[in-house]
Amino acid sequence: MHIAACVWQEKGSATVAAAAAAMGAGGGGGAVGKWRVAVAALLAAAGGALNCVVSFLVFSFLDVLDMVLCVVYKLVDYAVEAEWKACYCSAAAREGSTAGAIFVPPAAARGPKVVRLSPSSAKMQLEDVSDTLYVRPSVLSDATKKSGPAAPTLTVSPAIVELIRGKIDRAPRPPRHSPCWSDCDCKVCHSWSAASRSSHLYVHVQAPTTPSGVETEDVVFIHGFISSSVFWTETVFPAFSEAARGKYRMFAVDLLGFGRSPKPADSLYTLREHVEMIERSVLQRYRLRKFHVVAHSLGSVLALALAVKYPAAVKSLTLLAPPYFPVPEEEAGAATQYVMRRVAPRRVWPAIAFGASMACWYEHVSRTICLTICRHHRTWDRLFRLFTRNRMRTFLIEAFMCHTHNAAWHTLHNIICGSASKMDSYLDVVDGQLACEVAVFHGRDDELLPVECALAVGARVPRARVTVYDHKDHITIIVGQEKLFAAELEAIWRRSAAAAE
């Protein structure tokens, strides 16, 4: 593993210990130094304890609030749309959450699956789903449970089996294009619903500026969770050199359920669905034979899945802040639960961890947040433009708000948590079957996905070039240093071309 620009900063405890040793070696000032170190350690411990206590109280309240909101939304859904909508916290959801679907008990090390009816035909499909969708212990049950992970168990409802049989006997029903009452129906969020556009993702294409006949290369950019293609088009795209703009054809996609892409209400937003939509919308539509891949955060999982599926087609693989958490042997029976606890630790501080925990643990609280923010994103956008006068912040807010609760909820669980048992095998394929350059970038101050994620990728793929940026986090790894990162990408692509000659 090659590590560039990585100067280790020790953890707080190690720093304190080193400072104490240095102070002690200073002779007369040693007593004062040790006293200061002891006070700092005491304050750090007190702050950690306070964070734990406040977190326990806040998330205990959210456990109750989510149950109340479950009832409220069922009543409102029925009043507005004349149907009861199943949710994952109900008993019905544990037995079969969506119309035309039944859960199948998990096979060894493969995770649970759901058998569902394709919305466009009577074809039965087997989808990988994460058990974190319907098994999320409360704070109290987590605090009182016995040690040792346990894989969730599932049952199959006979009523759901009969429901699916009935659907197979009837003519297939077209996919639902009208948005849910709690989702936005503006042109940006709902323009995909036209029949001619609903089968493809929204793709921003930046074509080369050179005359036709000049050999070009293709690059696919995949954004992260609750983001969109503007994460790339408003940052690194304008920062590329004229030579790069003339040589590379760049594709920035809005993932299924985000930005201007389709947001089907009946989708489970599984890994298979996301990858197939990228294949259909980019690889097949634009006839890509060989291509570079650049992916951020959650998009790194999809990039790895593409690389595994097309090992001979990928010319270089660049991952930014990949969500890779090696699962300890003692947690192997509940790998998805382990990853969920790492990504969303149910702590009120830092703030980004609190936001991730709200989005991951509470189905109906997160729906309320989407109702408040995403459904009214036009109003929020106007307010941010008025008060910040900052285009950079505005495009990030726009990307953050253009999705639905159904898309965000399922994508977070089925991609981030659900890929826990796949990541090792994906990286092994990248290491053993891909000959292309692999580059990994991470911000040392990333509080959502720690820098250890990138280092773990480097350990699994020894030839990977791992770069850690000091004083950068999950977003500023790109935003704020666009020209530097654009130059890094151009260098990667040039090395890949040179290696292929």
pLDDT in tens, 294-329: 999 999 999 999 999 999 999 999 999 999 999 999
How do residues 446-459 score in pLDDT, each as one tens digit? 999 999 999 999 99
Q: Which of 297, 300, 357, 421 is catalytic?
A: 297
SS (H, E, C) 209-265: CCCCCCCCEEEEEECCCCCCCHHHHCCHHHHCCHHHHHHEEEEEECCCCECCCCCCC
Q: Which of 223, 405, 410, 442 is catalytic?
A: 223
The pLDDT score that the predictor gives to residue 121 is: 36
The pLDDT score that the predictor gives to residue 4 is: 47
Which residues 6+ apart lie within 8 Å of 49 measured at CB?
none
Residue 474 annotated as catalytic: yes
The pLDDT score that the predictor gives to residue 160 is: 42
Element spanning 18, H or E: helix 12-24
Residue with tokens 């006068």: 389
Residue 223 annotated as catalytic: yes
CA distance 222 to 234: 14
Whether the pLDDT of residue 202 is over 80: the answer is yes
Residue 471 annotated as catalytic: no
> Bigger pLDDT: 169 or 307?
307
Amino acid occupying residue 39: V
Q: pTM for the complete prediction?
A: 0.84
CA distance 332 to 341: 14
Residue 410 annotated as catalytic: no
In percent, the amount of the chain with pLDDT more than 90 equals 56
- How far the first Cα of the chain sits from its last, in Å, is 24
Per DSSP, what are the bridge partners of residue 440? Answer: 319, 466
The pLDDT score that the predictor gives to residue 398 is: 75
Mean pLDDT, range 471-493, rounded to an integer? 96
> Bigger pLDDT: 163 or 339?
339
> Bigger pLDDT: 442 or 379?
442
The pLDDT score that the predictor gives to residue 143 is: 66
Which of the residue ranges 124-128, 202-206, 226-230 would you say has the lowest mean pLDDT?
A: 124-128
Q: Which of 377, 405, 442, 474 is catalytic?
A: 474
How do residues 60-75 score in pLDDT, each as one tens digit? 999 999 999 999 999 9
Whether the pLDDT of residue 339 is over 70: the answer is yes
Mean pLDDT, range 395-400, rounded to an integer? 77
Residue extents of the structural domains in the chain: 90-169, 187-500
Order across the sheet with 314-320: list the strands: 2-4, 465-469, 437-443, 314-320, 291-296, 217-222, 248-253, 203-206
CA distance 414 to 256: 13
Average pLDDT score over the chain: 82
Query: Helix (H, G, I), strand (E, B), or coil: what is residue 346?
Result: coil
Mean pLDDT, range 426-451, rounded to an integer? 96
Whether the pLDDT of residue 22 is over 60: the answer is no
Whether the pLDDT of residue 293 is over 70: the answer is yes
The pLDDT score that the predictor gives to residue 29 is: 56
Tokens of residue 362, six digits:
């509470």
- Taking domain 187-500, whether its CATH number is 3.40.640.10 is answered by no
Q: Which of 55, 446, 473, 496 is catalytic?
A: 446
The pLDDT score that the predictor gives to residue 383 is: 84
The pLDDT score that the predictor gives to residue 111 is: 53
Angle at 429 between CA 421 and CA 495, to 5 degrees: 130
